[in-house]
Chain A
C-alpha cells in the first residue's frame, strides 16, 4: 500500500512541475514576440551600418587615405592582446543557450592562448559572469541586469570602455560574441570582430573608386559614424540575445512540459498496475482464508 501512496505523490509532484514549465513557456512566448519585433526592426540598421563601415575599411586600406586614425582599420597580423565582450542571459532554464556562448568564449580563449596572445574578458549577463567566476577565470568587467532589459545607454557604456582601451593601444582587437535569434526554434552563435573593422568578404559588389568625405576638413564624420557603429553593434547584440534567450527558453520549457506529460503517463500506468496487484493479492488472501475455513 505504501507503494501506491508513493506513486501518487510522485504523480502530483510531476504535475506541479508541468504547470510551472507550461506557465514559463507561455510567458516566454509572449516576451519573445516583443523581443523578436525589436530585434527584427533593428537588424536592418545593424546590417547596413556594418556594410557601410566595411566598405569604408576596404577603401581606406586600398587608398591609404591619410589623416585618418588607421588603427581602426589596420588588419595587422601580429596582435598581443584581445578583448572578448560576450553576452549571456541573466537567468537559466533556457536549454543550451548560455553554455553555447560560454563554450565559444572558451574555445577562442584557448586558441589565442596557444598563439601566446593575452585575452581579457568582459562579461554581460549573470550566467556568464557566474560561470567564469566559478572557474576562477578573471573577468575584466562584468555587467549584470543588462541582458534582461537592454537599453542604449548601457550598451554605450559597455562598448565604449572596450573601445577606449583599443584606442589607447592597450588592446589590439575587440571581439563581440552573442547567441543570436535565428527563428522561433533555433539560435545562431554570432562572433563579430568589432575592431579592427573587417573588409567586405566579397569584393564583386563593391565600388572601387576613391571615396570622398564630407565635411572633409576633419575626422568628425568617420568618428561619429564609428561611434554609432560600435554602440549599435553592442546594442543590437543585447536585443538579439534577448530574443534568442526567450526563444531558447520557450523551447526548453516546451520540452520540459512534454517530458512531464510523458512521465505522468508512465507513472499513472505504474500506479494502476500497483493498484491491480494489491487488489489481486487481497482477493487471493480472502479466497485462501475462505478455503482454509472449509
Chain B
C-alpha cells in the first residue's frame, strides 16, 4: 500500500511525523483531502481539525489555529502556529486534550462557525472511533 509522509510542526516542536494513508486538511478555501500522488500544492490553512488516517486504519485528530501546508506527491508538511493533538491512553486523557484543542480554536478564531465546525468534527470522529 502506498503511503504519504505527514509532518506537523509548530514553533513549540513537532506534533506529528509518520507515514499515513490519507489526511484531510482545513484549507482556507475549504477542506481538502490528500492521498498519495497528490499534485504539488501550497495552501493556507484556517482554524480547524486535521483528520489523519493512519496506516492501520485508525484516525488521529490534530487541532490547529492557523498555518500553511505544503503538499507534493510523497509528503505533506504542515507549518502551524499552534497545534494540539487529540490523543490519550484513556478517556479522561482524551477529554483533556479535546478541551485543550477547543481552547486553542476558540482563542484564535472569532467566527462561531469555525468553532462549531471544528467541534462537530471532533465529536463525529470520536463517535466513529471504537474504544
A interface list, Cβ under 8 A from B? 40-42, 44-45, 48-49, 51-52, 55-56, 59, 207, 209-215, 220-222, 224-225, 228, 232
Can you list 19 A-B contacts with CB-CB less than 8 angstroms, sorted by A residue number? A41-B12, A42-B11, A45-B9, A45-B11, A48-B7, A48-B9, A52-B68, A55-B70, A56-B42, A207-B73, A209-B39, A210-B39, A212-B39, A213-B43, A214-B27, A214-B44, A221-B42, A221-B44, A222-B42
Asked if B77 lies at the interface with its beta carbon under 8 angstroms from chain A, I say: yes
Which one, A207, A212, A228, contacts B79 given CB within 8 A? A228
A212 to B72, CA, bound (A): 10
A214 to B34, CA, bound (A): 14
A59 to B68, CA, bound (A): 17
- Min CB–CB distance B8 → chain A (angstroms): 9
Residues of A within 8 Å of B12, CB to CB, are 41-42
- Min CB–CB distance B17 → chain A (angstroms): 9
- Chain B residues 50-86 with CB under 8 Å of chain A are 68, 70, 72-74, 77, 79
Task: Name the residue among B7, B12, B39, B70 with the largest chain A CB count within 10 angstroms.
Answer: B70
A220 to B44, CA, bound (A): 9
Residues of B within 8 Å of A56, CB to CB, are 42, 70
In order of increasing CB-CB distance, the 6 nearest A-B pairs are A207-B72, A211-B40, A214-B43, A41-B13, A52-B70, A44-B14
Which one, B9, B13, B28, B42, contacts A212 given CB within 8 A? B42
- Interface residues of B, count at CB 8 A: 23
The binding surface of chain A is classed by DSSP as helix
CB-nearest residue of chain A to B74: A207
- Min CB–CB distance A168 → chain B (angstroms): 26
A232 to B39, CA, bound (A): 27
Which one, B9, B10, B39, B43, contacts A221 given CB within 8 A? B43
A51 to B43, CA, bound (A): 15
Contacts A45-B10, A211-B72, A228-B79 supplied; 7 other A-B pairs, CB < 8 Å: A40-B13, A44-B9, A207-B40, A211-B40, A214-B41, A224-B68, A225-B68
A243 to B3, CA, bound (A): 37
Residues of B within 8 Å of A211, CB to CB, are 40-42, 72
Asked if B29 lies at the interface with its beta carbon under 8 angstroms from chain A, I say: yes
Residues of A within 8 Å of B44, CB to CB, are 214-215, 220-221, 224
Task: Name the residue among B12, B28, B77, B79 with the largest chain A CB count within 10 angstroms.
Answer: B79
A224 to B28, CA, bound (A): 13
Residues of B within 8 Å of A42, CB to CB, are 11-13
Whether B39 and A48, one on each chain, are in contact in the complex, defined by CB atoms closer than 8 angstroms, is no
Residues of A within 8 Å of B79, CB to CB, are 45, 48-49, 52, 225, 228
Whether B29 and A209, one on each chain, are in contact in the complex, defined by CB atoms closer than 8 angstroms, is no
Residues of A within 8 Å of B73, CB to CB, are 207, 209
A220 to B29, CA, bound (A): 13
Whether A210 and B40, one on each chain, are in contact in the complex, defined by CB atoms closer than 8 angstroms, is yes
Residues of A within 8 Å of B72, CB to CB, are 55, 207, 209, 211
Residues of A within 8 Å of B10, CB to CB, are 45
Q: Flag B89-125 by CB within 8 Å of A: 1 or 0 each.
A: 0000000000000000000000000000000000000
A225 and B42 in contact, given A45-B79, A48-B79, A214-B27 (Cβ under 8 angstroms): yes
